[in-house]
Structure 1
Amino acid sequence: MCGIAGIVSLDGRAVDPNAPKRMCDYLAHRGPDDAGYVFFHHGRGPGGQGAHWLRFCDAEFRHINEHLPVFGGEYAQTELAERPFTLALGHRRLSILDLTPAGHQPMCSPDRLLWIVHNGEIYNFPELREQLQSRGYQFRTRTDTEVILALWEEYGSDCLEMLDGMFAFGIYDRRDNTLTLARDRFGVKPVYYAVVDGKLVFASEAKALFASRLVKAEIDPATLVEYMTFQNTLTRQTIWRGVSILQPGEMLQVRPGSGTAVRTRRYHASAVELAGESVEEDQAARLVADCFGRAVRRQLISDVTVGSYLSGGMDSGSIVAVAGTVIDRLHTFTGGFDLTNVNGIEQGFDERRMAEQLSHLLQTEHYDVVLHAGDMPAAMERLTWHMDDPRVGMCHQNWYVAKLASRFVKVCLAGTGG
């Protein structure tokens, strides 16, 4: 995953030029491989709205981005102080596709009229890339991010329905001075935002909004009651006062410096279409197997090592069965429990034995971690900081398994939702 952040002036007053850096520093755990920023001044010029822009890299990654000035350097501070910049975008990168500096973000189109900060993965980007190449588009990188830019140039926001994947991105179109935030149709990747003091502030995590110093970290009591009742919030309102989250399949648009309000709308409405006629059971099984296999294989496209979580259940086991046909000796990881003093049905909570049997059957390179009494409370404070709310469920166990997996791979498939 990556981290995205940005500030948009709605009333034309300048944004704090140091805020994007502070926000991205709070997202460093999401993107340890690179960091970048771009600022726009919305006075009119030869290039139209947003004609003047400045682009910087983080000093920590100067060795990667040798052609970019360093944020915080003398040049950056002088330039940022001279103009009232009204839009700023920031990005922390986890490099998975195209590990070269070409994948740096914020990324722009060749004519520099479109700029994007993107978190996630577009699974069907190879097919979309081929379609665009057939129309004459020449790509400079191997990233799925550049494919989004090209699609936006060709189709505008209509391209959102073409994307198969998990994503959250902000894209600024200088042609009509519009910033668009979009979230995938299942809501896997988050976008938090707040409108305060004439500014729209957005980021991948709520804590980054607080780092902007525009948004206060105050609990909304009514939403907290809702969260504690349902273990979730049922609207875009979060437990933080004034902080909203973009809904699955939703987009937000705003024009920097225009004084207009923020507009949100659904670009995708989930619907189930029943087949016109029934199929035989064996035919249905083949169709499901084919669809599932293609879904897993397209998620294995990566320039880094990919592994998978593996429990004793059908979901992760099925994923590993398919992934193992593509990756030899696939790394798999399981979390178990020390049930020495446990009796009855709780004995079944530890799936290590079943996972080991699946690993042997599927010939994976398997590792596991055992959680003991006290391990979950020990992780609670840190996980609450990462999750931005009092999360329950399996995130404590998953955190320990992820720590184990990070020693061997950079990306892990999971059966979440299975």
Structure 2
Amino acid sequence: MCRIFGSFAVGATGPELAAVSARQRHGGPDQRGVLRGPGWSLGCDRLAVTDPVGGAQPYRLAAVPGVLAVLNGELYNHAELRRRLAARGHRFPDACDGSLLPALYAEYGTAFAEHLDGMFAVAVLDLRSRPQLVLAVDDMGMKPLHYHLAAGGAESGAIRFASEIAGLLAFDGVPAVLREDALDTVLATRTALGTQTALEGIRVLPPGATAVLRRGEPLRVRQRTPRTAAPAGDARDVLRHEVRRLARTGSPLCAITSGGLDSGLVTALAAEEVREAGGGPLHTFHLSYRGRWPAAEHEYARAVARRARTAHHHIAVDPAEFGSLLTRTVRHLGQPNADPIALSTYALFRAVREAGFTVALTGDGADELFGGYDRVRAALAAPAGSDWITPYVDALGAAPRLLRDRLYTPAYRAYLAERGSAADRVTAELRAHAKEDGADRITTLTRFETRRRLPAYHLRRVDHLSMAWAVEARMPFCQPSVAGYARGLPTSARDGKRALYEAGRGLLPAAVLRRPKQPFTLPVAAMLTAGSPLLDTVGELLSPARLRRSGRLRADRVQALLARQLATPSDGDALALWAIAVHELWTEVVQGMRVPAGCAA
């Protein structure tokens, strides 16, 4: 698990690469490796999990001269690949998973990623007769890779890439230009979905993509056929297999236990594996907030921990810390994400690392694969022939369309009418897919939830905020066998996660199985009230003078919305205000990322 970066068809200076590395060093504090030459560079900041003694990056093999590789992630099938490659005559200097990448590339060329099972972002630099750069990310997009491709001038075709936007912006040739439609994107879809980010010219590889670049040629991005697995047994059997596989690590392991169904299943099955392996009790972590807040889940989390017999850690964050936590969270994410859970996630992984744990199992991905969201259930329940897409898209946003239109200035509304809003683009995409899929709404919805929203909204957040504290987050639900099992279920079993509730019977407390669905998040509606420390931070970010400078929002109407929230707190108003505040803070933070190399944040 690491942070990677590099360039191709353009050189980079030593100080420039040091600045990029410094921006991402939090995710790879154990070892730094950088190589550069005429027109290329490749670097890695390593978090040593597999074979901590070996595994120096960039990876090189004497038998494959001219091929270099760097890896962010974990390759769960590296032992199997190592045996296969050894049978073909390859030898390796250590037992690190990524050390086999040059040999795998030598055998399969640009198709090497089709043989990888895990979460990964990989860069392979082939400096032989026809130099090329090959980038690849895993099928679910658990490990993101951001890049900037120069469009013209002397650097036309030059590419720079990095695990995080902050690192990418430390390259001299990458500008920090905010997209004009970023505010609408945050309010309409909560974050930038798909390959586009909130910054002009900075993109992220889509899930399951391999990109190839040769000098003088355009970047070619190919979607690989997703890995398929033949699931055996029911949901519990399939999930147990993946939890056990991912729980095997030589590094300190824990689980994130929110008190809900998804993390509860992972916790219960991981505790089984740890006990059977003779490793003592599994450690579990749950985060809450000091004081009395609505929808607290710590009692449910304790019940899961008691049932699974774990060593449970209940972390209570002081709300007075929220202002500083929010700034650090936004900086690590690199682009705005309107989900208040981001602040909670950052604080939770901080506690995990401070307790001495390097690997954490989480329950992310279950809702997308097994139809857990209310918006999905409502879309499936809509009568045949009705417009289920419009309300579904509205439910994706931090603010409904009518509220967005009311808050935008006339000039910004006109701009969006001409260019198209984020919601309009999502609507058009869903209508096109619904036409292809016919009456099979679950296929349309699952495709969008897993291929577009999950990587951008959830997985990027988990990656960035776990790695902010050098913690490797492993996600059993995002493995090919679980995804394949979910796709093969009838609609009735995927509506409302029925297959997972059945899997939880006998494993989880009845109270957890009976409770209403509730996401792990920050109770922002209750915290945006008079006297709350969070109100001061949000109020400052929503000051009329600040909003008027951008020309996108009606400052008077934002203030009226804030007054309504203070008079009658509601989840909807609070989320809209939170999203605007996050966007405003992000614009300030990202502008500060374009600093001299010696001052990298």
Q: Corresponding residue for 2:347? A: 400
How far residue 171 of structure 1 moved from its aligned partner, in angstroms, is 0.4
CA contact (8 A) 2:186 2:336 kept: no
d(CA) in 1 for partners of 2:182 and 2:77?
37
Greater than 6 Å deviation, 4+ residue runs: none
Q: Corresponding residue for 2:181? A: 222
Q: Corresponding residue for 1:170? A: 123
d(CA) in 2 for partners of 1:285 and 1:172?
38
Q: Corresponding residue for 2:218? A: 261
C-alpha change, 1:169 and 1:389, in structure 2 (3 Å) is: same
Which of 19, 25, 35 aligns to 1:28? It is: 25
The residue type equivalent to 2:211 in the other structure is: L
How far residue 350 of structure 1 moved from its aligned partner, in angstroms, is 1.6
CA contact (8 A) 1:205 1:388 kept: yes
The residue type equivalent to 2:119 in the other structure is: M
C-alpha change, 1:229 and 1:270, in structure 2 (3 Å) is: farther
The residue type equivalent to 1:330 in the other structure is: L
Which of 324, 328, 342 aligns to 1:378? It is: 324
Q: Corresponding residue for 1:209? A: 168
Q: Corresponding residue for 2:382? A: none
Q: Corresponding residue for 2:285? A: 333
Q: Does 1:355 align with 2:301?
A: yes
Q: Does 1:410 align with 2:358?
A: yes
How far residue 285 of structure 1 moved from its aligned partner, in angstroms, is 9.1
Which of 224, 236, 242 aligns to 1:289? It is: 236
The SS at the match of 2:284 is: strand
Which of 93, 111, 118 aligns to 2:71? It is: 118
d(CA) in 2 for partners of 1:180 and 1:122?
17
Q: Corresponding residue for 2:144? A: 190
Q: Does 1:302 align with 2:302?
A: no
CA contact (8 A) 2:186 2:338 kept: no
d(CA) in 1 for partners of 2:17 and 2:248?
31
d(CA) in 1 for partners of 2:28 and 2:224?
28
The SS at the match of 2:330 is: helix
CA contact (8 A) 1:179 1:254 kept: yes
C-alpha change, 1:224 and 1:396, in structure 2 (3 Å) is: same
How far residue 263 of structure 1 moved from its aligned partner, in angstroms, is 1.9
Two-structure CA RMSD over aligned residues (Å): 2.2
Q: Does 1:314 align with 2:261?
A: yes
The SS at the match of 1:252 is: strand
The SS at the match of 1:95 is: coil
Q: Corresponding residue for 1:44? A: none
CA contact (8 A) 1:223 1:237 kept: no
The C-alpha deviation readout for 1:46-98, integer Å capped at 9, x for no partner, is xxxxxxxxxxxxxxxxxxxxxxxxxxxxxxxxxxxxxxx21000110000011
C-alpha change, 1:298 and 1:147, in structure 2 (3 Å) is: farther
The C-alpha deviation readout for 1:348-372, integer Å capped at 9, x for no partner, is x222112112212222111111234
d(CA) in 2 for partners of 1:173 and 1:411?
32
d(CA) in 2 for partners of 1:314 and 1:402?
20
Q: Corresponding residue for 2:570? A: none
CA contact (8 A) 2:198 2:336 kept: no
Residues 223-242 of structure 1: matches in 2 within 5 Å?
223-242=182-201
Identity across aligned pairs (percent)?
29
Higher helix proportion (structure 1 or 2): 2
CA contact (8 A) 1:171 1:179 kept: yes
CA contact (8 A) 1:8 1:15 kept: no
Unaligned runs of 5+ in 2: 275-279, 367-601
d(CA) in 1 for partners of 2:218 and 2:14?
23
Which of 136, 156, 160 aligns to 2:109? It is: 156
Q: Corresponding residue for 1:64? A: none
The residue type equivalent to 1:381 in the other structure is: T
How far residue 213 of structure 1 moved from its aligned partner, in angstroms, is 1.7
The SS at the match of 1:381 is: helix
| TM-score (ref. length: structure 2) | 0.56
Q: Corresponding residue for 1:7? A: 7
CA contact (8 A) 2:7 2:159 kept: yes
C-alpha change, 1:285 and 1:358, in structure 2 (3 Å) is: farther
The SS at the match of 2:159 is: strand
* Number of residue-to-residue matches in the alignment: 352
d(CA) in 2 for partners of 1:116 and 1:138?
16
Q: Does 1:39 align with 2:30?
A: no
d(CA) in 2 for partners of 1:312 and 1:285?
28
CA contact (8 A) 1:124 1:298 kept: no
How far residue 116 of structure 1 moved from its aligned partner, in angstroms, is 0.6
CA contact (8 A) 1:193 1:201 kept: yes
The residue type equivalent to 2:47 in the other structure is: L
The SS at the match of 1:108 is: coil
CA contact (8 A) 2:186 2:337 kept: no
d(CA) in 2 for partners of 1:270 and 1:159?
13
How far residue 224 of structure 1 moved from its aligned partner, in angstroms, is 4.1
How far residue 16 of structure 1 moved from its aligned partner, in angstroms, is 3.0
Unaligned runs of 5+ in 1: 41-84, 276-283
Range with bigger deviation, 30-39 or 407-416: 407-416
Q: Does 1:129 align with 2:82?
A: yes
d(CA) in 2 for partners of 1:413 and 1:306?
8
CA contact (8 A) 2:12 2:36 kept: no
CA contact (8 A) 1:239 1:389 kept: yes
C-alpha change, 1:211 and 1:225, in structure 2 (3 Å) is: same
The C-alpha deviation readout for 1:207-259, integer Å capped at 9, x for no partner, is 1121112112120112442233101223322111111111111121112xx32
Q: Corresponding residue for 2:95? A: 142
How far residue 17 of structure 1 moved from its aligned partner, in angstroms, is 3.9
d(CA) in 2 for partners of 1:132 and 1:290?
31
The SS at the match of 2:263 is: helix
| TM-score (ref. length: structure 1) | 0.79
How far residue 374 of structure 1 moved from its aligned partner, in angstroms, is 4.0
d(CA) in 2 for partners of 1:260 and 1:87?
16
How far residue 123 of structure 1 moved from its aligned partner, in angstroms, is 1.7
Q: Corresponding residue for 1:18? A: 15
d(CA) in 2 for partners of 1:8 and 1:18?
17
